[in-house]
Structure 1
Amino acid sequence: MMGFARLAATTFITQGVPVYLFSDITPTPFVPYTVLRLKLCAGLMITASHNPKQDNGYKVYWDNGAQIISPHDKGISHAIEENLEPWPQAWEDSVIDGSPLLHDPSASIQKDYCEDLNKFCFHRSVNRETKLKFVHTSVHGVGHRFVQSAFRAFDFAAPEAVPEQKDPDPEFPTVKYPNPEEGEGVLTLSFALADKIKAKVILANDPDADRLAVAEKQDSGEWRVFSGNELGALLGWWLFTSWKEKNQDPSALKDTYMLSSTVSSKILRAIALKEGFHFEETLTGFKWMGNRAKQLIDQGKNVLFAFEEAIGYMCCPFVLDKDGVSAAVITAELASFLATKNLSLSQQLKAIYVEYGYHITKASYFICHDPNTIKKLFENLRNYDGKNNYPKTCGKFEISGIRDLTTGYDDSQPDNKAVLPTSKSSQMITFTFVNGCVATMRTSGTEPKIKYYTELCAPPGNSDPEQLKKELNELVAALEEYFFQPQKYNLQAKAE
């Protein structure tokens, strides 16, 4: 990984471009942070994240501090195609050692980051005195040192680190999948340590520390792992509540925004409607939210929060990407503040749903390694009852609306044209049902998966969450049976 980063640095330095190269492994969010902080023209992150080490990715940020979107992605592809022959010295990374163009930002950036993070600490005295104990795991990744620093910045005692997982190890020896999104399997060692030291909250970063999973010990003795949507609801509520306490002027609401991706829970929309700030949805992925947030900030707007259901949270707009370090310490402060009111995270989540309406979500995926099969499955949905006809029902559930972001069709718009950008290179169809449920099926950009995301939104009032869950489970079963047809397409279900 470091070798790959040095080769990238060599490419720039041999062309006379100054480079800030971190001398040690670093969380992904520190790269977009550095681009904005030092006013650089681009940022590169070399990481496989939670994938096998040989699947190293190359993540690019533009000068606005957000991941690249068009036209920059096309421009870079074009430049690659025009330079397929490596330049002289391309492999001689020793030329950068001692170069006046090479800088190491590691120490200063970590210090600056913690200073900026301090602006999001709202209850320092609570943090100092809290009796709540936290366990943190970096799942063999890079998060340990940085989360410890963030806790110090907020005046917390250090969280207890899972010793077997705190140091970087690309073999991920203690877990089958080093992705906290996969839930309880990744947290086995965390549960054991938390039970041993009587910690109530577990904070888990993925290996490159841009995602965060959270688990809380329930009164029943069970551990509850919050979904990405549930933690999104908690953090969104917390950041709005904390902001509102400092900004009593109601006119400030008109310039205040929250964002989430189109496959994430619409709970922020419900909170925004009731509280009077703006909510916008973007395409899936933080590259869209980061770029939109930057546009809004440049227009003088205040972006409080953005999230996606894949446990990605942007709690501080000085990083225009998901950031598991800031999300970890802000969650710790939220939990500590609630504890002073004798409330748990679970109880506060329920209070949010009672006030703004229950939002019950369920997401999963099927694995399929054959692109042609995936294409057939989606074409079948576009020609369900004869040519160019989308399905009108899914089992017993009636469909009231269809949006296809592969073709650009949206029957809820007067001209049937989708508002969000469309992409022919990826598959994505959203079905709205008469019962208020929304289901999206899409291909993953990085893995051989067909994913689905479902949500049943109820208005505020006396909804029965168990009944809503039952109805959503029935709809998901119908979606799998009639739209995925796993036997017909030979799809492999998610391993539990």
Structure 2
Amino acid sequence: MRYIEPELLEKVNKWLTPTFDELTQLRIKDMIALEPEELEDSFYKSLEFGTGGMRGIMGVGDNRINRYTLGKNTQGLSQYLKQVFPGESLKVAIAYDCRHNSKELARVVAEVFSANNIQVYLFSDLRPTPELSFAVRQLDCHCGIVLTASHNPPEYNGYKVYWQDGGQLVPPQDGEIIQVINTLDYEDVNFQAKEDLIQLIDKEIDDVFQKASVAHVRFTEQKNREQLKVVFTPLHGTSVTQVPQVLKLAGFEQVHLVEAQAEPNGDFPTVESPNPEEPEALKMALELGEEIGADIVIGTDPDCDRLGIAVRNSNGQLQLINGNQAMVVMAHYLMQQWKEAGRIDGKQFIGSTIVSTPMLKAICEDMNVNYLEGLTGFKWIAKMIEDHPNLEFIGGGEESFGFMVGEFVRDKDAVTASLLACELAAALKAQDKTIFDYLLDLYDQYGAYLEHLSSMVKKGKKGAEEIKTIMDDLRNSPLESLIGEKVVRVEDYQDGSYTDLLTGEQGSLDLPNSNVLIYYTEQGTKVAARPSGTEPKIKFYISVRSSSGSSDLERLSEKIGQLKTQLDI
């Protein structure tokens, strides 16, 4: 048997006690004998909350998603709820997606809550993440849980926690909950369910959610919705339970489902990755779109919070637009509708994030709408709504193919965003235009902005160390220029500081600390480096711009290529 570090061995031995079931113990013994590297990766750390909750590979150990790690989380959360809401009748809502073990793990979570005398509303079958966010507020719950790993590979699952406002946990709640969890041992978890406290929910929430989605998007009585040809794929995920139904309710009659991807399946058998950010994921949908002459193609990720969109370009071909472009056209359309309805008076806002396109800020300034910017993740946009009760929230988004319409859902919502994209496409079709034409018009009005995301996958303990080294190098040996453009400002969100390299001025950033580093050049180029909070990746966000408008897009694309070469990504 290979030598095991004493600290690791102590963790492993805890899992070989009667607190854990026999199958778990047998699996650990197999790893000790035959898979020492897997053993180390399963135990070298405990799973942590990131930008999108807690995600990890399913299996045994502290660094894996299983009934014990989630049971411990839930026990800690139960105790925290009792501390924060003493004497109240506590209520939680739970949803889950199509992933392997999601239904079983959701049941475990429900049982632990009920064992702690907390009323549980558990969806009877898989549902989209945005519907869980909606249900928390609809049912007046103290918190909500969704079992999902979003668009991660099939071996992953996850645990997202939502607070009373329907948004994901933010400081200080996340840190306080983690402190409570860390005081617990696995034997402290109460798995003894009280079945009378677990209530199944489904249609009563579905109906209200669908009507709310339509109410937030249907601005006009245009008659051409039934003429729009839509191709939709859920990529084997949960959106099949809501998106087609919402589109039909809104009046879209020509919605063509990619049948081979319509059945929920945690193996995601027809795609390498169920991520609409990846062009390959929408290949089958694009093929069907060309076959039937679709006006728009939409695909969502497994838990239905992200969406990818393809529209007809200037040559009449279906072309994917990226998350920043989708955000810009949908946000502008929303603001335009509010303006035409006389609802803009300077007391409205759009929310976005520090790694998203600067173009949105320029549009907001022109439309007399406040622009608020936060850290990566929709939990920060949800927090903006709570922090600014004097302002009306129109919508918000970020580069990661997510968008949120109004405040009835407090997370990125691919159900309502899919409807909004179709609504915009239908309105433009009546003018013999497409969303692509609309985007080019915005570039000509506000200047062209082009963005690109590159990710480097670094798995396991070794990968985490490599990511740390990359970030350390960027901080300790900062870049002085990017493709010949002088760097004029550096923002380091890890210590909350900025440096103006032209004046030497240094100051503090008005956002919580986060492991993000951003470079700005004198020509308006922006490069951000950020380790992912939910995947074993380091991400590089590139943004370039030109005042020449849409005619300069080809040159901007070349600049992005040059930046990738310089950064070796």
Using structure 1 for the length normalisation, give the TM-score: 0.88
Deviation digits for residues 373-392 of structure 1, max 9, x if unmatched? 222222222222xxxxx332
Q: Report matched runs for 1:104-115 at 5 Å.
A: 104-115=200-211
Give the counterpart of 2:452 among 352, 355, 362: 362
1:163 aligns with 2:259: yes
Q: Distance in 2 between matches of 1:443 and 1:88?
A: 32
Aligned 8 A contact 1:132 1:200 in 2: yes
**Most deviating of 373-382 and 447-456:** 373-382
For residues 110 and 428 of structure 1, do their structure 2 counterparts lie closer, same or farther at Cα, with a shift above 3 Å needed? Answer: same
**Most deviating of 427-436 and 128-137:** 128-137
Q: Report matched runs for 1:306-455 at 5 Å.
A: 306-369=396-459, 370-384=463-477, 390-412=478-500, 415-423=506-514, 427-455=515-543
Secondary structure of 1:181's aligned partner:
coil
Give the C-alpha shift of residue 82 in structure 1: 2.3
Deviation digits for residues 193-214 of structure 1, max 9, x if unmatched? 2222221211101011111100
Give the C-alpha shift of residue 221 in structure 1: 5.1
**One-letter code of the match for 1:417?**
S
Q: Distance in 2 between matches of 1:374 and 1:102?
A: 43
Q: Distance in 2 between matches of 1:438 and 1:377?
A: 18
Give the C-alpha shift of residue 88 in structure 1: 7.1
Give the counterpart of 2:214 among 115, 118, 134: 118
Q: Distance in 1 between matches of 2:304 and 2:368?
A: 33
Secondary structure of 1:473's aligned partner:
helix
**One-letter code of the match for 1:419?**
D
Deviation digits for residues 385-408 of structure 1, max 9, x if unmatched? xxxxx3322352211010011122
Q: Distance in 2 between matches of 1:285 and 1:15?
A: 31
For residues 372 and 118 of structure 1, do their structure 2 counterparts lie closer, same or farther at Cα, with a shift above 3 Å needed? Answer: closer
**One-letter code of the match for 1:110?**
D
1:234 aligns with 2:322: no
1:76 maps to what in 2? 177
Aligned 8 A contact 1:127 1:333 in 2: no
Q: Distance in 2 between matches of 1:198 and 1:353?
A: 27
Give the C-alpha shift of residue 321 in structure 1: 0.5
1:278 aligns with 2:370: yes
1:259 aligns with 2:351: yes
1:148 maps to what in 2? 244
- Percent identity (aligned): 29
Q: Distance in 1 between matches of 2:118 and 2:319?
A: 49
1:468 aligns with 2:468: no
Aligned 8 A contact 1:28 1:208 in 2: yes
**One-letter code of the match for 1:468?**
L
**One-letter code of the match for 1:420?**
L
Secondary structure of 2:419's aligned partner:
helix
Using structure 2 for the length normalisation, give the TM-score: 0.77
**One-letter code of the match for 2:182?**
E
**Most deviating of 22-31 and 50-59:** 50-59
1:19 aligns with 2:120: yes
1:65 aligns with 2:166: yes
Aligned 8 A contact 1:52 1:170 in 2: no
**Most deviating of 255-264 and 454-463:** 454-463
Q: Distance in 1 between matches of 2:337 and 2:169?
A: 31
Q: Where in structure 2 are there 5+ consecutive unaligned residues?
A: 1-101
For residues 127 and 69 of structure 1, do their structure 2 counterparts lie closer, same or farther at Cα, with a shift above 3 Å needed? Answer: farther
Give the C-alpha shift of residue 86 in structure 1: 3.7
Q: Distance in 2 between matches of 1:233 and 1:285?
A: 17
Supply the RMSD in Å over aligned alpha carbons: 2.0
Aligned residues: 462
Give the C-alpha shift of residue 52 in structure 1: 3.2
Aligned 8 A contact 2:312 2:435 in 1: no
**One-letter code of the match for 1:243?**
W
2:300 maps to what in 1? 205
